[in-house]
Every structure is written in C-alpha cells, then in structure tokens.
Chain A
C-alpha cells in the first residue's frame, strides 16, 4: 500500500488531508511540524510526502532540504501545500527539491488526483 506522510501545523488541514487520503485507500501518517516529520521519515519509508510551507520549529522548505539529503528520499515525490499568494515560496520549494505543489484551497478530489499523479 502506498504510504504517505502528511505534514501541517494546522490540525484541521492535517485531519482533512489525512482523512481524505485514507478514504482513498492510502496509508497515511501525519506530523505537525518539519522536525517531527523528519523523524518519522527516518524511521519509515514513505512513498509520498505532502507538507505545508509555514510551520513552527522546522518549516516545509527546510524539511524538503533535509529529506533530499537522505539517500532513501532522493527520488521520493514531495508535494508542498502552498497558498496562491506565495509564488516565491513555490520557487524556493522547488529549489529545495520539492517535486510539485498543491495550491490551497483545494478540495479532496484535487488532492487525491494530485497524489495519484505522482505515485506508481
């Protein structure tokens, strides 16, 4: 089963993402900041990582940079959750090694469609 790691400091977003992806048949773990996500990623192998950009402790950009340093996350799709106003953040995320982005607001269908785009 495809394992996904969802990272967001907002618990409503995290719950929505987790619930949606679980309903779509994925195995989902979640974390509330980059540091916790990184720890999870080191002890588990995820097929996709979906992360918010603005988070306390460790933000999404640093998380991507750190993940790409790990040998088993070299090619893993990493999607950033961004808002449309953060155009420069998108580029920053790309430079850090993010695969793509999902623009907030998104609905559950878009989320699942986007995830399906990067797996398999």
Chain B
C-alpha cells in the first residue's frame, strides 16, 4: 500500500507552528522559582508532538533537534533539573530555531546546518553538563552497532519455542492465537498445547489463561524475527527460543553470494510493501523496535539518519511535483461554521418558497412575493456577514509575539518594562492582520528603544524603575484601533523640529502646532536617536510604518506629552474585502467613496470658493480651507454641470488632511465588494479598486489618499509650468 505522506505536511506544519507558539507562551510564563508543572507539561507535549510528527513525515533535521530539546524538557518535567533563566533563554532560542527550520521546510528551501547546529550543540552541552545519565548521550550505542555489524546467521533452521504465559495474558489484549498465526507466516509451525494446569471447572476463571505451548518452527528465520512476535509479552511469560538444528553453515555462504536479495523473513512480515526503498525503511526501523528496550535514547538518531537517507531521494522527487505548500489556510471556530450552515439552510428554504410561488404565480400573491424577496435579501445579508466573520481572527495572533519581543529587547537595552495587553480578542480581517504585524513590531520596538528610559533616568525623574508599554485594541465605528502607549520620555519636540529644519522638511520660520511637530517623526529619513542602534533609529522605520498602514487604508497618529509618554494610534478598516461606500454621480459615471473617510457633504455656495494661484480652488469650510478636486476634470468626464452652483462637495479626510470632491449628485450608501484592479488590470493611483453595482455596471472606488497625492503632484506640475 502506498500512501503519500506529503498530503499531511501542511497540517503538520500548521500544528507545529501552533505548538511552537504554545512553547513560547509557556516559556515566557515559566518562573524560575516555582515552575508550574502544567506549563512544563504543555511545553513538553508540544515539543513531543513536533518530534513525533517530524520523524513520521521524514523531517529528520527537526526530529533530531526536537529530540535533544525533548530530552532536556523531560528532565525538567521529571524534576531532575531546575529551571534557570539561562535555560529559558536557550529554549526560547530553540523555538526560534525550529520556527526557522520549519518555515524553510514548508517553503521547500534547503536547511543549512548553521541554522540549527550551534543551538543544538548548546542544548547538548547543557544536557551533558549536569547529567550523569548515559541514556542521553547522542553517540550511537555501541551495542546497536554490534548488532548491525553482526553477520546474519540464518538458514534453514529448526527452532524450538517454549511459551508459558502468565495467567493474565489475555487481559492485556494479547491473544496467543494471533502470535501463532504470525509465527506461521515465518515458517512451518507445529504447536502443541500443554493443558496440565487447567483447573476443574468450578475453579476456572474465564478470563485467565491456563495453557502453555511448545512449538517447533522450521524455516529460514532469524531469532530476532521470532523475538519480535513475542515482543509485547516478553514480560508476561516464560519464553525460550532455541535452535534444535541448523543448516546454516553452508547456506550462509550462498546467501552472502547473493547478498543483494532482501531478507526473506522480513519480506514476509511486510508482504504488502512492494517498493524496494520502502522495504528497506521498514527493515531499518524494525531494528529499532527490536532493540528498543536496550537502546539508549540518543542512538535512534543514527537510525533516523539512515532512514532519512533512503527517504531523501523520494522526498526530492515529490518536491518537484508538489505545488508550493505556502497556500495559506485559516482556522475557523466551529460556531462560525455552524451559523453559516444554518444560514444556508434558511436560504434554501427561502429559495424553495420562491420557486414554488413562481410555478403558479398570479397577481394576488404579489404581497407574498415581496415578503419572500425581503427574506431573501435578509438571508443574503446575514450570509455575507457570516462569511466575512470567517476571515476575522482575534488580534491576539499578532499580539502574542510581543511578550517575547519585549523580554528580549529589555535584556538588550537593560531596561525594565511591563507589557500590558488588552483587547486581544478584538477581531480583525486575516489579510489586514498579516500586514499589520511588521508595523506594530516596529512601533513597539520604537517605544522600548526611544520611549522608555533606562531605570536610572526613570528613577531620577521620579518614575518607577519599571516602564510600562500598553497594547490596546478595540473597535470604533467601522474601524479597529490599535494603541501603543508608553510611559516614557515622550517626543523631544525641540530636537524633532531642529532636525526637521535641518532636513528641509519645514521652513525655519514656519509655525507648527505641537501635534504637527509630533507627526513629523513619520516623515521619510527622520531619526532623532542620538545613537543609532540595530533595533530602531536608522530613520527608515517610521515612514515605512506609516506607508504600510496607509496602504492598508488605515492611518497612524501620535500623541505625546514630554516626560509622561507617547501614544501611537493606528486606525484600520476591519476588512479589505468589503467597504461601506457612498455612491456618487459625476456625469453619467458612478463612483464609490469609502464612507469612513467622508467628513461631510455640502451644497457648494459659490461665494465660499476662493481661487488661489496655480488654478487651485479652495473652499472655505467654516474655519478650514479645503482644496477642491473637480472629479469631472480628473476623470475627464463630459458633464453639463461644470458649475459650482449646482454641485455638491464631498469632504473627505485622511491622515489629518482634507480634500473636497466636487460631484453632481449623492446616490445611495451601500456595502460594496472590492474587486482588485491590480489583479485584473493595473494599479492606478487614486483608485483602490472597482465594484459591480446592483444593475451590473462597474463603479470605481476612489482611494482618498491616492487622490490627495494626485492633487499635490498636479499642483506641483502646474507650479513648475507656471514658473
């Protein structure tokens, strides 16, 4: 039977990564004074599962590495070894290392020895350092080598087997008759039962075994093959296996001559494995089983190595055939799936109701038809919401990596920081989640590096030596807000301003509010760190953070009070796939403006339009001045209405900047499904995608940020042309 093990690889990788997360969490919670045994157990179990899986699926490197790891954890679990913070550090490093190896394996990239060897050596050293148990040594057991190098001594042999089981043998589920059946498959078997111990009927216990057996077995059989049959009951019986007569002397030579022929007895056991390399694998592993009770733990490594040698060639083959394994999957709570099924059920009922009505429709049933259609609409909406729910994951997926990171960074900076996480169950679209990870990492690093002061400075400033970084997530309107709050030094505005002037980002005499100065740190090429560290401060961070967040349709904002701390707020749309849109009309065209970015929509009053240099019109909106973007002009649409008088101004805002779209008419508000322009056409600045309207027409979705950029480049071009 051939079963393609690679079909389980994806599941294996997923659960291994989950396991690593569990280990990491556990390790971070593990205190050195009073290690919680359940935590240690869960760490051990995770390592153990990864080891078992990786060995089964032939990821030898992972199996060997986790084996060493497991050995250490087992000692901890059994209380033979105390937990030290040095050990936790090493274990955390091992988790990272495993994650690297597994990612590489998943991407079908080669794993280098340098990826894991140093850490594996460290682990081995730690184990050997404090242990006198020889069972951990990684060197292969000499006994095993002896056995392997031993020439097989078999031939046509007559074996005499005495088997006297203990009376409880059947209660372990071991049925002697099955063993006889197995022996029979090895050679010619004669069984004789000894009934002398069978008691009188009234004394007989029905679940006890009173029989014993003498057997003769004739065939080309090795002793180990017979021993293997009794492997599970060796402790529960008296067993003797002896050679009565052997013809091996002459035949052995013949066997050597045709040594390429596989061992026959083993072949019988695995009669159904036809593939020669597979047979070889099973033979090798059999030797592990046979010698297992005597084996040292570590010696398996050498066996596994041999295993992998045979397995590697077949694995290489599969690499070329199997498509990239990186296709991601999503884990969905069963309740979400249930509600989906429930909704589909309702949809089917509605459909059948409408179908029935359609068959014999007359005008008297109009009311009921309307009702049915309303029900259909509701079903569809609920179904849509439910499906969207499936893509939503708790933000803890991202947050969970931070305790570890903060711990590592504190060690590096010699700072003390408490990380407080709240709102980790807030749900967010998977795609958004995947892309928000890196910006968040950067912001948290930044808070630790630049925000939180060293304990000495903190104490001098009258604060507690231990700093505080809070990560909060919560829903607000159609957005998710993520806050990174630190109680550090805050932004040094003087320094920021002087740097900005030095870089030519602001004019020397320009008046900026405090908030405006703070936002300067998101400008490209901006870093005020006195010492450029390898963690943050190369000035390539914050602008990239801002760019990435903007690309997700979100915004980032910082508030800071000198000496008290800073708060970074990231605002993100809940999902990238569906958008609450305001439909607008320009000429004969319909466009969609994201509802969340609209501040207000007003009837344009001509007197409030100010014309300024460069052909730009500004609308005076109370105390604010909003540049007007004429959409008919931008999209080159022929409309009769080019006059401000009959137009509507849709004021939108992003990143603190406002812009007004001049449109002919406001249409309805509705949820639209975003279809990417990029995948079907090309990316266009100012357009974030397209959607299909109810009547089948395509409407473009305006990207407010992109429009702002278009406006500013247009102005620049015009200014240059004017100059």
Which residues on B sit within 8 Å (CB–CB) of A104?
52, 55-56
Residues of B within 8 A of A94 (CB): 172, 232, 235-236
A8 to chain B, nearest CB (A): 8
Given known pairs A87-B293, A97-B172, A103-B289, the reply for A56 and B53 (CB within 8 Å) is no
Instruction: Determine if B42 and A85 form an interchain contact, defined as CB atoms under 8 angstroms apart.
Output: no
Which residues of chain A are within 8 angstroms of B173 by Cβ–Cβ distance? 75-78, 97-100, 118
Contact call B45/A68, Cβ cutoff below 8 A: no
The yes or no answer to B415 lying at the interface (CB within 8 A) is no
Please give the distance in Å from A39's CB to the nearest CB on chain B: 17
Contact A105 B63 (CB under 8 A): yes
Complex partner residue of A13 from B44, B49, B272, CB under 8 angstroms: B49
Comparing B7-15, B193-201, B557-565, the segment that makes contact with chain A is B7-15
Find chain B residues with CB under 8 A from A75 CB: 170-171, 173, 175, 207
Minimum distance in angstroms from B63 CB to a CB of chain A: 7
B48 within 8 A of A: yes
User: Inside 8 A of A83's CB, which chain B residues have their CB?
Assistant: 48, 51-52, 55
Bound complex: CA A76 to CA B289 (Å): 23
Which B residues, 58 to 77, have Cβ-Cβ distances below 8 Å to chain A?
58, 63, 67, 70-71, 74
Interface residues on B, range: 35 or more
Q: Do A87 and B292 form a contact, CB below 8 Å, given A16-B8, A105-B52?
A: yes
Q: A75-B207, A94-B172, A99-B174 are in contact. Are A117 and B182 (CB under 8 A)?
A: yes
Asked if B531 lies at the interface with its beta carbon under 8 angstroms from chain A, I say no
- On whether A20 and B3 interact (CB within 8 A), knowing A75-B207, A85-B297, A99-B172, the answer reads yes
Residues of B within 8 A of A76 (CB): 173
Q: Confirm or deny: B57 has a beta carbon within 8 angstroms of a beta carbon on chain A.
A: yes
Q: Which residue of A lies closest to B59 (CB)?
A: A105
9-residue interface stretch from B280-288, B521-529, B544-552, B711-719: B280-288
**Total A residues in contact with B, Cβ cutoff 8 Å:** 47
A112:B1 contact, CB within 8 angstroms:
yes
Taking a contact as CB atoms under 8 Å apart, the answer to whether B45 and A9 are in contact is yes
Contact A85 B300 (CB under 8 A): yes
Q: Determine whether the beta carbon of B232 is less than 8 Å from that of A101.
A: yes
Expressed in whole angstroms, the Cα–Cα distance for A40 and B420 within the complex equals: 42
Contact of A103 among B48, B171, B272, B288 (CB under 8 A): B288
- A112 → chain B closest CB, angstroms: 6
A24 interface hit (Cβ, 8 Å): yes
User: Is the beta-carbon distance between A109 and B49 smaller than 8 angstroms?
Assistant: no
Hey, which chain B residues are within 8 Å of A72, CB to CB? none
Neighbouring A residues of B56 by C-beta, 8 Å: 13, 16, 104-107
Q: Which residues of A contact B67 (CB under 8 A)?
A: 85
Q: How far is the CA of A12 from the CA of B55 in the complex (A)?
A: 12
Within the complex, the shortest CB–CB distance from A1 to chain B, in Å, comes to: 17
When distances are taken between beta carbons in the complex, the residues of chain B under 8 Å from A52 are: 52
Q: B176-193 toward A: CB 8 Å interface, digit per residue (1/0)?
A: 001001100000000000
**A56 lies within 8 A of B45 (CB):** yes
Distance between B633 CB and nearest chain A CB, rounded to angstroms: 58
In the bound complex, what is the Cα–Cα distance between A12 and B57 (angstroms)? Answer: 10
Considering only CB atoms, which chain B residue lies closest to A67 in the complex? Answer: B173
Cα distance A24–B293 in the bound complex, in angstroms: 30
- The answer on a CB contact under 8 Å between A10 and B172 is no
- Residue contact B293 to A113, C-beta cutoff 8 Å: no
| Distance, CA A85 to CA B281, complexed state (A) | 19
Is B304 an interface position by the 8 A CB rule?
A: yes
Pairs A-B, 10 closest by C-beta atoms: A99-B173, A105-B55, A100-B232, A12-B12, A85-B297, A77-B173, A10-B49, A105-B56, A12-B11, A108-B3
**Which residues of B come within 8 Å of A, CB atoms?**
1, 3, 5, 7-9, 11-12, 15, 42, 44-45, 48-49, 51-53, 55-58, 63, 67, 70-71, 74, 170-175, 178, 181-182, 207, 231-232, 235-236, 269-270, 272-273, 278, 281-282, 285, 288-289, 292-293, 295, 297, 300, 304, 307
Beyond A10-B52, A97-B171, A105-B63: 10 further Cβ-contacts under 8 Å? A19-B7, A20-B3, A85-B74, A87-B297, A90-B292, A90-B293, A107-B282, A107-B285, A108-B1, A109-B278
- Between A and B, 6 residue pairs with Cβ closer than 8 Å are A12-B15, A87-B297, A90-B293, A104-B55, A105-B63, A109-B270
